[in-house]
């Protein structure tokens, strides 16, 4: 009887541990996914801002450079932080009016295999967070 109780106790502890691990893994992955969406939003917004006054090549370069810079700084974009100091690195987030107006657009990751929008495709094959 004691062996059965100990077995059940260990079994439930392991089951709870596995559930907690999966939840943590999913949460972390989705945070990374949100990070990638935010980087895309910022890069796209920078491209739109520059496209208003320059040619397409300059707009693309601005978008890529801005996204690259944000990735190097490990930002998770929050439009309320634009123009303020990043507490992690001490550097200042660019503050452009056009960026503030466009950076909160919704971006949806499209599954390259199916072509379907799939914003919840965290931790799966073709994980957009892995592109970081």
Q: Is the pTM of this model over 0.75?
A: no
Domain range summary for the chain, segments of one domain joined by +: 34-131
d(CA 132, CA 104): 20
Tens of each residue's pLDDT in the chain, 132 residues: 788 787 777 776 766 666 655 555 555 555 544 555 555 555 555 555 544 545 555 655 665 666 566 555 544 444 444 444 444 444 444 443 333 333 333 333 445 566 555 444 333 333 344 333
d(CA 84, CA 66): 16
What are residue 85's DSSP bridge partners?
Answer: 92
The confidence score (pLDDT) of residue 88 equals 43
Name the one residue in this structure whose structure tokens are 């999913």: 26
Residues in the chain: 132
d(CA 94, CA 43): 12
């Amino acid at each position: 009887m004691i062996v059965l109780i100990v077995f059940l106790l260990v079994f439930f502890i392991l089951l709870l541990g596995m559930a907690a691990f999966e939840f943590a893994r999913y949460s972390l992955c989705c945070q990374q996914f949100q990070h990638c969406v935010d980087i895309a939003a910022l890069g796209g917004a920078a491209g739109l801002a520059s496209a208003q006054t320059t040619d397409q090549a300059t707009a693309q370069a601005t978008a890529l450079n801005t996204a690259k810079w944000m990735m190097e700084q490990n930002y998770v974009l929050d439009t309320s932080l634009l123009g303020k100091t990043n507490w992690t690195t001490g550097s200042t987030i660019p503050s452009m009016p056009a960026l503030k107006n466009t950076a909160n657009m919704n971006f949806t990751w499209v599954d390259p295999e199916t072509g379907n929008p799939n914003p919840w495709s965290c931790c799966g094959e073709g994980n957009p967070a892995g592109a970081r």
